[in-house]
Amino acid sequence: MSDITARLAEVEARIRRAEAEYGRTPHSVRLLAVSKRQPIAALRAAYDAGQRDFGENYLQEAERKQAALPEANITWHLIGALQSNKTREAATRFHWIHTLDRSKIARRLAEQRPESLEPLNICLQVNISAEPQKAGCLPEAVHELADCVAQLPRLRLRGLMALPAPATDPVAQRRPFALLRELFDELRRSGFPLDTLSMGMSADLEAAIAEGANIVRVGTALFGPRPNHPPSQGTPQTQEEA
Ligand SMILES: *Cc1c(COP(=O)(O)O)cnc(C)c1O
């Protein structure tokens, strides 16, 4: 697992180089380690190397990992699709939800977020290129959803998230990130105090940083290829990434 220490250093170096190249404030981009389907030992190795933000896609799998890594200084992010019958677990076990795309889910999370915990940090997932069948609210509906979330107790609206279709050419990679950034700026101009743009993964984090990302969600570059199945039984109950 010591590869993970080396890969973590490499990913951190990519982030710092991109910050410098695109005129971003040093250390303004936070690395979210996407650990879905990775064994607990991999998360442990990343934790021991200093990583503190972890992103999981499946609630059941996350529960096992959280039990194995109970350290209070870990920040857990849900980055998989969230169904309305699973909101209670999500509201109880995570610090951040990156995939909120419906007001119904927002209302349930607000009701179910325990009083004993800090407000739940929320990013709205946007289907930025309006791809058919893709999760996320459409760009034209974001304003209304932001209004809804901002008025709910127990939730703290932080920003926007997108998972654009993969592209290899850096110009094509930047286009959807630029659109998300424009939407983010528009919402801020209308008075929403947003501070988070969650965009960019292993293959396109530089393009995302160029366009203003401040959380990049990185799996493969950090942990290597994902095993096909989660480390033990448990059928994923949330959709896989695109
Ligand atoms: C899996 C996943 C990632 C990480 O993807 P990599 O290409 O492995 O870095 C990022 N975001 C979401 C929402 C994911 O599901």
So what's the pLDDT on residue 230? 65
Percent of all residues in the chain with a pLDDT value above 90, rounded to a whole number: 92
Q: Taking CB atoms and a 6 Å cutoff, what residues make up the pocket around ligand 1? A: 34, 36, 57, 79, 163, 201-203, 217-221, 241
Whether pLDDT at 22 is above 70 = yes
Residue 199 has pLDDT above 80, yes or no: yes
Q: What is the whole-number distance in angstroms between the Cα of residue 38 and the centre of ligand 1?
A: 12
Rounded Cα distance between 64 and 138, Å, is: 33
CA atoms within 13 A on the CB side of 205: 26
Determine which residue's CA is closest to atom 5 belonging to ligand 1.
219
For residue 241, pLDDT over 90 is answered with: no
Question: Is residue 231 pLDDT above 70, yes or no?
Answer: no
- Which residue carries 């920040």 as its tokens? 75
Q: Ligand 1 atom closest to Cα of 161?
A: 13
State which ligand 1 atom lies nearest to the alpha carbon of 202.
9
| 121-138 tens-digit pLDDT | 999 999 999 999 899 999
Taking the C-alpha atoms of residue 3 and residue 155, their distance in angstroms, rounded to an integer, is: 37
- Which residue's CA is the closest to the ligand 1 atom numbered 4? 219
% of the chain at pLDDT higher than 70: 94
pLDDT at position 43, please? 98
pTM beyond 0.85: the answer is: yes
Q: How far does CA 53 lie from the centroid of its chain?
A: 10
Which pLDDT value is given to residue 235?
Answer: 44
CB 116 within 8 A of CB 128: no
Of the residues 4, 58, 201, 209, which should be mutated to test ligand 1's pocket, given the most ligand atoms within 8 Å of the CB? 201
Bridge partners, 55 (sequence order): 34, 77
Distance 108 CA to ligand 1 centre (A): 26
DSSP for the chain, written as a single string:
-HHHHHHHHHHHHHHHHHHHHTTPPTT-SEEEEE-TT--HHHHHHHHHTT--EEEES-HHHHHHHHHH---TT-EEEE-S---GGGHHHHHHH-SEEEEE--HHHHHHHHHHS-TTSPPEEEEEEB-TT--TT--SB-GGGHHHHHHHHHHSTTEEEEEEE--PPP-SSHHHHHHHHHHHHHHHHHHHHTT----EEE---TTTHHHHHHTT-SEEEESHHHH-SPPSS-SSS----SPPP-
CA 119 to ligand 1 center in whole angstroms: 25
Q: Which two tokens stand for residue 98?
A: 């990156």
Q: Band the pLDDT of 9: cuts 50, 70, 90.
A: very high
Q: What is the mean pLDDT of the chain?
A: 94
Burial class (CB in 10 A: 0-12, 13-18, 19+), 98: buried
Q: At residue 209, does pLDDT exceed 70?
A: yes
> What pLDDT band is residue 228 in, cutting at 50, 70 and 90?
confident
Q: Which of 8, 34, 61 to mutate to test the pocket of ligand 1 (most atoms within 8 A of CB)?
A: 34
How far does residue 227's CA lie from ligand 1's centre (Å)?
14
Say how far apart CA 13 and CA 229 lie, in whole Å. Answer: 30
